[in-house]
Amino acid sequence: MSAKKKSKTIRVRQMKSLIGGKQEHRDAIRSLGLRRIRHEVEREDTPATRGLVHKVRHLVVVVED
């Protein structure tokens, strides 16, 4: 019996609009998979994902379960 190790994930929710924002921020939100305000996605907790969240930290919130 092999036990699969559960990978750590984070939940990210978009809280503010992209209207008037930089293209760089739009690209980061889209690459996270967010589509609209209050849309929430679950992503693997990697340094790359954390970097994207950090880039748009004024637009998103990390949801604690």
Segments making up each domain of the chain, as ranges: 19-63
Q: Which CATH class is domain 19-63?
A: alpha beta
Q: Which residues of the chain have pLDDT under 50?
A: 1-2
Tell me, what DSSP letter sits at residue 2? -
CA separation (Å) from 1 to 4, 7?
10, 19
User: C-alpha 26: how far from its chain's center?
Assistant: 12
